[in-house]
Chain A
Amino acid sequence: MSATLTPQAGRATRGTTATKPVESRWERLAPYGYVAPFYLLFAVFGLFPLVFTFVVALFDWNPIGDRTFVGLDNFVRLGEDPRFWNALRNTFSIWILSTVPQLVIALVLAQVLNKARLRFASFWRMSMLVPYITSVAATTIVFAQLFDRDYGLLNFFIGLLGFEHVDFKNTVLGSHVLIAVMVTWRWFGYTTLLYLASLQAVPRDLYEAASVDGAGEVKQFFNITLPSLRPVIIFTVITSTIGGLQIFTEPLLLQPTSGTTCGAERQCQTLSLFQFEQGFGVFNFGYGSAIGVALFAIIVVVALINYLLSSRVGRRA
């Protein structure tokens, strides 16, 4: 970390500049100008909307500008709305189905990629980033086809094995699995690279010593790899919570005909889709904002629980 961060060094810098004959006022204000764009844009497009969501949620509000204060009515209505609970269940189901495999795969691959004498190391790494640069829209269209009930490649093989074709798109569990596969596919390589970066900072001597002591690969994984990855695991669990609970595009594009409901029975409608449906589909800004507030609260709580749980990972060791 840079020395200037300490107050003392800061003073030193100022000391140097003080030897200059004149220090203009511009020079003193310049740093604020350098950092200002971010704070301005964040205030307008980040912070204000966030606070304003809470306000809009208290109103019966439509885009034309008609608004009536209704207090907490939107939230009461939300609690009684089976569509909300359905969306909540779907969101959690998809999130867990996509996060757990993704992190496990990334852990194993990072361990594998961290070998000292691995050949073609940069080829493996680059290939794993290809899904990340592929857009969600393109991903969804391809996977929907691969998992198609009648003509999908996967069901072709399932059929060869003598099983019935699975209707991934239109069943509850099927659509959740399909969406989870897409999310996992897109993100496991990225997560692997984050883990790998963290692993490379672990002194290799540690592994060498462990293997001299007769610790096998599995033992090394649990006693060295996992504990040293703790901070980055916490980080990825939190970010995948925030991302996973807001999932929107995959379920939207999975069902081109039904769109925001994700199937006639709302099989895979997530909270974000429900919010969009209420906000921009039926133009009920107040109710839509209430969904946003609820989702925000849920994310905060879940992220906190995740933080507490994942800070235990590998602590024993």
Chain B
Amino acid sequence: MAQLVDAPDRSSAAGRSKGPGRRREPRLDRVPRGRQVGRVRWYTYAVLTLAVLACLFPLYWMFVVASAGTEAAAEMPPRVVPGGRLLVVTQLVFDTIPFLRSLFNSLVVAGLIAVGQAFLCALAGFAFAKLAFKGRDALFLLLVLTMTVPASLSVIPQYMIIAQLGWVDSLQALVVPGLVSAFGIFWMRQHISATIDDQLLQAARVDGASSWQIFSKIAFPIVRPAAFVLGLLGFVNAWNDFLWPFIVLKSPEVYTAQIAIKALQSNLTVDLGLAMAGSFLVTVPLLVLFAFFGRQMVSGIMDGAFKG
């Protein structure tokens, strides 16, 4: 199964600069020795540049159309530079639907889910990693098995339950089921096992600390970075979720931002600029978040991966 390795083995890479390289290539060209770029060739950067352009271009395009207004979407040849109407179009989005409200709803839902995941998954992960209790291994196995159940297949009964609880058309329907996840618990358990020394916790035990005190005063502070990343990922997923909100939210006041764009798109099929502006406004908060914490997210995803 997946294992966390404390640090990827980079040491062996550092010392060796002069492998014989590719055969046909003369070895001492241009690059001074010792600073040889190793086997990274120009086409490596060409491939990567292409991939990055492919990743970023659609967002740039979204911005171009959003800032130029609807007519820009129908220009031939297509417009490639942003226009100056971003504020006007944005205003139009806010006038057409309660979009600010939707952004706020999304923020509340995604924020609560992020906090819930970071805290509850760390707590459960701590119990699985460091506390002895009867049935622990069986419970953990059950947890791993739940990850293989494709949840959205049973949307109809899920909707019935939400209806029974009286939560249709309310934000609880989104928040409560998302507060804690099997993946998150699994992930936190791996982190806690790998980073926290048993002896530290046992010392605290001997001093009479309860398991809650051990968690909150010792374990959680140590794994806070990992819990933070988990919260970020939870935030991104909740912010971008579509199917479930689409099913349980009926009235515009409770729409999350994703559902609001859908409303924009279907009410005004012709007005592409408006839909693009909405999409752009929904994406910007995450881009800002990503600008600050993207590095942590990347390493968090890589940490959670299978290694070896």
Q: Which residues of A contact B (CB under 8 A)?
A: 1-5, 9-11, 13-14, 16-17, 19-20, 26-28, 30-32, 34-35, 37-39, 41-42, 44-50, 52-53, 56, 63, 105, 108-109, 112-113, 115-119, 122, 124-139, 141-143, 145-146, 150-151, 153, 156, 185, 189-190, 193-198, 200-205, 208, 211-212, 214, 216-217, 228, 231-232, 235, 242, 246, 248-249, 253, 256-257, 259, 272, 275-276, 279-280, 285, 288-289, 292-293, 295-296, 299
Residue B258, interface by CB 8 Å: yes
What are 11 A-B contacts defined by CB distance under 8 Å? A38-B120, A38-B124, A45-B158, A116-B13, A118-B44, A130-B55, A189-B51, A204-B16, A216-B23, A231-B308, A276-B155
CB contact under 8 A between A204 and B127, given known A129-B298, A256-B265: no
Interface pair A112/B139, CB less than 8 Å apart? no
Q: How far is the CA of A63 from the CA of B164 in the complex (A)?
A: 11
A137 near B146 with CB under 8 A, answer no
Q: Enumerate chain B residues within 8 angstroms of A235, measured Cβ to Cβ.
A: 2, 306
Given A48-B161, A109-B47, A109-B51, residue A136 in contact with residue B78 (CB < 8 A): no
Nearest CB of chain B from residue A204's CB, rounded to whole Å: 4
Chain A facing B: main interface SS? helix
Contact A30 B212 (CB under 8 A): yes
Contact of B161 among A3, A17, A44 (CB under 8 A): A44
Q: B18-51, CB under 8 A of A: which get 1 and which 0?
A: 0111110000000000000111100010011001
Task: Identify B157's interface contact among A53, A115, A201, A280, CB under 8 A.
Answer: A53
User: Once the chains bind, are B129 and A137 in contact (CB under 8 Å)?
Assistant: no
Within 8 A of A (CB), among B76-135: 76-78, 120, 123-124, 126-133
Q: With A and B bound together, what is the CA distance between A189 and B143 in angstroms?
A: 28
Q: Are A185 and B54 in contact (CB under 8 A)?
A: yes
Kindly state the interface size class of chain B when it binds its partner. 35 or more
Decide yes or no whether B141 CB sits under 8 A from chain A: no
Contacts of A214 on B, CB cut-off 8 Å? 23
Interface string of B265-285 (1 = CB under 8 A from A): 110010010011001101100
**Contact between chains at B210 and A27 (CB < 8 Å):** yes
Instruction: Please indicate the chain A residues that have their CB under 8 angstroms from the CB of B136 in the complex.
Output: 31
* Bound-complex Cα distance A19 to B203 (A): 12
Q: Which residues of A contact B286 (CB under 8 A)?
A: 133-135
Contact present for A143 and B58 (CB under 8 Å): yes
Distance between Cα atoms of A10 and B125 in the complex (Å): 16
Chain A residues contacting B170 (CB-CB under 8 Å) are: none
Q: How far is the CA of A130 from the CA of B58 in the complex (A)?
A: 10
* Contact for B282 among A9, A138, A151, A249, CB less than 8 A: A138
Q: Are A45 and B177 in contact (CB under 8 A)?
A: yes
Q: Which B residues, 223 to 266, have Cβ-Cβ distances below 8 Å to chain A? A: 236, 239-240, 242-243, 247, 258, 261-262, 265-266
Give the distance to chain B from A282, nearest Cβ to Cβ, in Å: 13
In the bound assembly, the distance between CA atoms of A46 and B56 in angstroms comes to: 36
